[in-house]
Amino acid sequence: MGPNFILKGNICYCETPERFTIVEHGVLVCKEGLVEGVYQEIPEAFADFEVRDAGEKLIIPGLVDLHLHAPQYTFRATHMDLELLEWLENYAFPAEAKYKDAEYARKAYGIFVDRLRDSATTRACMFGTLHVEATEILMELLEKSGLHTMVGKVNMDRNSPDYLREESADVSGEATVEWIKDCKKKFRNTKPILTPRFIPSCTDELMENLKKIQLHFQLPLQSHLSENLSEIDWVQELCPTSAFYGDAYDQFGLFGADCPTIMAHCVYSSDEEIRRMKENGVFVAHCPESNMNLASGIAPIRKYMQEGLKVGLGSDVAGGTKEDMFAAMMHAIQCSKLRWRVIDDTLAPLTASEVFYLATKGGGEFFGKVGSFEPGYEFDAVVLDDSRLKDVEPVSVADRIERFIYLEQEEDIRAKYVAGKEVFWR
Ligand code: GUN
Ligand code: FE
């Protein structure tokens, strides 16, 4: 398949959170890797484009996972009995330490990347570990997968065991620079993103080093924010001069002011923190399943959307159990309903189109024009087959999408394109 082609099927995407845009039995035109347009019939001008007919199947934008931990995939869906800080010490840190061994990393990351490739995810931002070699192995595998991703070598030089801590801020900074230079030589679609683990893991000197590195290489950044109550108290103790958690990043210029930034979780962001995120254009990665599994809480996503923050969804493997972004959408709806019922009845639950928007165009904005079928967007598309569900009477496309969010299985994902390139058709 060349750079110009047409997909036929039931096309569905969200330009805004309020509603689905649907063209039944429509055509989606890809020109030079970009969406040219969505039409009812093939326009004369594209009559010579190759056509792939998906029949009754659904065609949606590829899904975007704004936050996950690739090394934690090995222990997904186990060890959910502790809250964040104890969970890190007992499970996440020992699991990540294994990636010192490149052979182990190649096996474990091989399994993870195969699964991500087979999912509906076309773009993802993820954490590796502090190990440069293992992180480059992960990036090499992702580059081969056809997905477009941002990957972070993690920085951490305090408050973790000797076996998973960098010796000093300078050692961490130097390793980061070496890694960034390698990435520029080796990868096209797998980009480095600065990744201070979270405030408790990084000394002031390390944050200062990372700011210099960010300004020199102009790199985006990802980290964690206001996820858990004990974590928030600890940050206040560690940084007594910060006005709120996000300010502890901002005092080093690492809170979105200069470069695009993702903060995962934001379960307990104060009004001040929300205001700063808005001013600085910080992206919130909402990770509802993780927030349930680690008993962190429920983030007020409708409030963030009303305030005009940029919001996307994350699986947060292995706080979350799976790489499946349909599950993330389902959990976002379900969490928001419990929050509305139990915590705050002024924030209405999220709807199917709203979570679909978050998983496509909302998170996609971090990658540029990604996550929609509006003209000029990168051609990321997924073909879904829900015939397994066997209907007696016709079901509307909007209802089929909503149902897919709840009932999807991996084998229903029949084709995937990223930036106009076919990843699979099966
Ligand atoms: N905060 C710092 N590290 C982590 C992590 O690995 N997972 C989650 N959920 N939160 C974190
Ligand atoms: Fe996380």
Q: Quick check: CB of 319 below 6 Å from ligand 1?
A: yes
Q: Which tokens hold the place of 207?
A: 């944050």
Nearest to 254 by CA among 305, 296, 197: 197
Q: Quick check: CB of 197 below 6 Å from ligand 1?
A: yes
Q: How far is the CA of 264 from the centre of ligand 2 (A)?
A: 6
Q: How far is the CA of 140 from the centre of ligand 1 (A)?
A: 24
Q: pTM to 2 decimals?
A: 0.98
Q: How far is the CA of 72 from the centre of ligand 2 (A)?
A: 10
Q: Which tokens hold the place of 195?
A: 């990744």
Q: How far is the CA of 86 from the centre of ligand 1 (A)?
A: 11
Q: How far is the CA of 151 from the centre of ligand 2 (A)?
A: 13
Coil, helix or strand for 200? helix
List the CATH number of the domain containing 90. 3.20.20.140
pLDDT at 418 over 90: yes
Query: Where among 319, 343, 367 does a domain terminate?
Result: 367
Strand partners, 413: 384
Q: Which tokens hold the place of 301?
A: 């996503």
Judgement on whether residues 50 and 85 belong to the same structural domain of the protein? no
What is the residue with the minimal CA distance to atom 11 of ligand 1? 224
What is the residue with the minimal CA distance to atom 5 of ligand 1? 88
What's the pLDDT at 2? 83
Q: Quick check: CB of 198 below 6 Å from ligand 1?
A: yes
Nearest to 105 by CA among 130, 85, 78: 130
**pLDDT 10s digits, 328-387:** 999 999 999 999 999 999 999 999 999 999 999 999 999 999 999 999 999 999 999 999
Break the chain down into helix, strand, coil percent, rounded to 5: 45, 25, 30
Query: Where among 367, 382, 417 does a domain terminate?
Result: 367
Q: What residues make up the domain containing 227?
A: 63-367
33 band by pLDDT with thresholds 50, 70 and 90:
very high
List the CATH number of the domain containing 413. 2.30.40.10
DSSP string, 363-396: HHGGGSS-SS-STTSB--EEEE--GGG--SS---
Judgement on whether residues 33 and 126 belong to the same structural domain of the protein? no
What distance, in Å, lies between the first and last C-alpha atoms of the chain? Answer: 15
Judgement on whether residues 56 and 202 belong to the same structural domain of the protein? no
Judgement on whether residues 85 and 204 belong to the same structural domain of the protein? yes
Q: Residues with Cβ within 5 Å of ion ligand 2?
A: 264, 316
86 band by pLDDT with thresholds 50, 70 and 90:
very high
Nearest to 408 by CA among 209, 119, 126: 119
Q: Quick check: CB of 92 below 6 Å from ligand 1?
A: yes
Q: What is the count of structural domains for the chain?
A: 2
Query: Where among 349, 367, 385 does a domain terminate?
Result: 367
Judgement on whether residues 166 and 183 belong to the same structural domain of the protein? yes
Judgement on whether residues 52 and 69 belong to the same structural domain of the protein? no
Q: Quick check: CB of 88 below 6 Å from ligand 1?
A: yes
Q: How far is the CA of 88 from the centre of ligand 1 (A)?
A: 7
231 Cα nearest atom in ligand 1? 1
Q: Quick check: CB of 117 below 6 Å from ligand 1?
A: no
Q: How far is the CA of 227 from the centre of ligand 1 (A)?
A: 9
Coil, helix or strand for 255? coil
Q: Quick check: CB of 227 below 6 Å from ligand 1?
A: yes
Q: How far is the CA of 224 from the centre of ligand 1 (A)?
A: 7
Q: Which residue has the tokens 């709120």?
A: 244
With residue 405 as reference, give the H or E element that holds it: helix 397-407
What's the pLDDT at 13? 99
- Distance CA(347)–CA(336), nearest Å, equals 8
Burial 174-202 (b: 16+ CB within 10 A, else e): ebbeebbebbeeebebbbbbbbbbbbbbb
What's the pLDDT at 1? 72
Closest ligand by atom to 294 CA? 1
Judgement on whether residues 300 and 260 belong to the same structural domain of the protein? yes
Judgement on whether residues 254 and 382 belong to the same structural domain of the protein? no
239 band by pLDDT with thresholds 50, 70 and 90:
very high
Closest ligand by atom to 235 CA? 1
Judgement on whether residues 132 and 56 belong to the same structural domain of the protein? no
pLDDT at 414 over 90: yes
Judgement on whether residues 106 and 164 belong to the same structural domain of the protein? yes
Q: Quick check: CB of 225 below 6 Å from ligand 1?
A: no
Judgement on whether residues 327 and 405 belong to the same structural domain of the protein? no
What's the pLDDT at 382? 98
Q: CB-based contacts of 64: which residues, under 8 Å, 6+ apart?
A: 121, 122, 123, 124, 312, 313, 325, 359, 360, 362, 363, 364, 366, 367, 370, 371
- Judge whether 355 and 405 are in contact, CB under 8 Å: yes
Judgement on whether residues 351 and 248 belong to the same structural domain of the protein? yes
Q: Quick check: CB of 200 below 6 Å from ligand 1?
A: no
pLDDT at 263 over 80: yes
